[in-house]
Structure 1
Amino acid sequence: MKTLAIIGSGDLGQQLSRYALSDLHYSNVVFFDDFSKEKIVNNIPVIGKTKDIEEAFELKKFDELLIGIGYKHLAEKKIIFEKFQAKIPFGKIIHSTALIDSTAIVEKGTVIYPGCIIDAQAVIKENVVLNIGCTIAHDTIIGSHSFLSPRVAVAGFTTIKEQCFLGINSTIIDNINITAKTQIGAGSLVIKSIDKKGLYIGSPVRFIR
C-alpha cells in the first residue's frame, strides 16, 4: 500500500485522510501545511510546508499527493495542482460506496465521497471534490478544480467549467453549460445556461454579484 500526502491539515484535509485510511486506499497519510503549527493532527504527522513537498517526495516520504484545500480557495487549488502535476503523481480517492459506471472517467487528484453516483460517459476532471451523495448523470462534464457540496444533482449533457462551486442540494437540469468560476447557492435550481461568472441563488437561480 502507498503513502498519501495531503496539502492542508484542516477540516477537508482531515476528511480526506479518514477516507484514505478507513476505506483502505492508502496505508499511511502525511500532511503538508503552510499555516498549522501542530506537528500531529488527528494522529497524522505534519511533515512540512508546501515548499518541502518536492524534497520529501525525492526522499520517498510519500507516493501520491492530494490537495485538501476547501471550496473558498479554488483558485489556489488550481495553482498548487499546476505547480506539482508534472513533478509528483497525484492520487485519487473513490469511496467504495460510490457507484461509478464503467464508461465514466475520473481524472487524477479527484475525491469522490460516499454515496456518489457517476453515470455513463460522465467525465470528472482533475482536482475535483464531489461531496457526499452527489449524482452526476450521463454525458456530463465536471470541470477541473471544482467543488460540489453534498447531494448536488447534475442532469445529463451538462458541462460545468473549471473552478465552480455548487452548494448543497443544488440541482442543474440537462443540457446546461455553466461558465468557469461560478458559484451556485444552496438549494438552487439552474434551468438556463450561465455564461457570466458570479454568485447565483434561488429557484430558478438569479445573478447576485
Structure 2
Amino acid sequence: MNSVLGIIGAGHLGQQIAHYAITDKHFEQVVFFDDFTSDSNINGWPVLGRTQDILKSFSQKKITHLMIGIGYKHMEARANFYDIYKDKIPFARIIHSSCWVDPTAIIGEGVIVYPNSAIDAHVVIKNNVLLNIGCTIAHDTSIASHCFLSPRVALAGFIIVGEQVILGINCTVIDNITIGQNVKIGAGAVVVRDITEKGTYVGVPAKLNKK
C-alpha cells in the first residue's frame, strides 16, 4: 500500500507540510481535510472532505498517517484534534533531511521539523510539535506537546517548555529556564528567567506584555 499523509487544514501551513512530505520523500501522496474550503484540490493535492470524514477515509485505506496543519493562532484546536485521533490513526513524524538530530534525542509522533534545524543530545520533543526553519534546540531540553516554534528559535540547554507554548521568530531562551504552558514569547525576545504565568512576553529581557 502506498503511504498517504492526511493533513488536517489546507491553509498555508498545511500546504508547507505537504510540500516537505512530498519533496523530501517522506510520503508518496498527500491529501487534505478541511472544514472551511470548498475546493476539491489545492496545489494539485486532493481535499478528501471535512474533518468528520477522517476516520472513514482511514478505514477505507485512503490515508495511512495523519498530521495537523493548523497554525499558531489555533493552538487549542491543534491539541484537540490530536487528542481525538491519537489512538485511532498513526500520526506521522517528518524530520527534513537537511536537519541534524543527535541519536539520543527523543521525538514524538505528529512532529514536523522544518529544514536546517539542529536538535542536540538528550533533547525530548513530545507529540504534535512544529519546529519551523532553522531552529536550534540544545542538549537536555524538553518541549511538551502541541508547541509551535517559529523560524530560528534558539533554546539553550536544560530548558523545560510547557504545553501549547508559542515561541516567536528569532526568540532566544538561555539555559536552565522553565516556561509554563500556554505562554507566548514574542519575536526577538530573550528569556532570562522562568515564566510561570500565562500571557505574552516581549522584549529584551522578555517581560509580560498582556495576560
* 1:163 aligned partner: 164
* 2:16 aligned partner: 15
Equivalent residue letter for 2:161:
I
Give the CA deviation at 1:154. 0.2
* 1:140 aligned partner: 141
Q: Work out the CA distance in 2 between the residues paired with 1:12 and 1:160.
A: 22
Equivalent residue letter for 2:53:
D
Q: Work out the CA distance in 2 between the residues paired with 1:182 and 1:200.
A: 8
* 112-121 or 1-10, which deviates more: 1-10
Equivalent residue letter for 1:167:
G
Give the CA deviation at 1:140. 0.2
Per the alignment, in what secondary structure is the counterpart of residue 183 of structure 1?
Answer: strand
Equivalent residue letter for 2:46:
P
Equivalent residue letter for 2:177:
I
* 1:116 aligned partner: 117
Write out the 4+ residue segments of structure 1 that deviate beyond 2 Å after TM superposition. none
* 1:27 aligned partner: 28
* 2:79 aligned partner: 78
TM-score by length of 2: 0.98
* 2:94 aligned partner: 93
Q: Work out the CA distance in 1 between the residues paired with 2:135 and 2:87.
A: 30
1:65 matched to 2:29? The reply is no
Q: What percentage of aligned pairs have identical amino acids?
A: 52
Q: Work out the CA distance in 1 between the residues paired with 2:99 and 2:143.
A: 16
Equivalent residue letter for 1:149:
S
Equivalent residue letter for 2:17:
L
Deviations 1:87-137 (A, max 9, x none): 111001100001000000110000000000000000111000000000000
Per the alignment, in what secondary structure is the counterpart of residue 31 of structure 2?
Answer: strand
* 1:54 aligned partner: 55
Q: Work out the CA distance in 1 between the residues paired with 2:163 and 2:100.
A: 23
* 1-10 or 13-22, which deviates more: 1-10
After the TM superposition, which residues 178-197 of structure 1 pair with which residues of structure 2 at under 5 Å, given as runs? 178-197=179-198
Give the CA deviation at 1:143. 1.1
1:43 matched to 2:39? The reply is no
Deviations 1:165-188 (A, max 9, x none): 000000000000000000000000
Deviations 1:11-62 (A, max 9, x none): 0000000000000000000000000110010000000111000000000001
Equivalent residue letter for 2:134:
G
Segments of structure 1 that go 5 or more residues without pairing to the other structure are: none
Q: Work out the CA distance in 1 between the residues paired with 2:204 and 2:144.
A: 23
Q: Work out the CA distance in 2 between the residues paired with 1:75 and 1:139.
A: 27
Q: Work out the CA distance in 2 between the residues paired with 1:101 and 1:172.
A: 20
* 1:127 aligned partner: 128
Question: How many residues are aligned here?
Answer: 209
Q: Work out the CA distance in 1 between the residues paired with 2:145 and 2:13.
A: 18
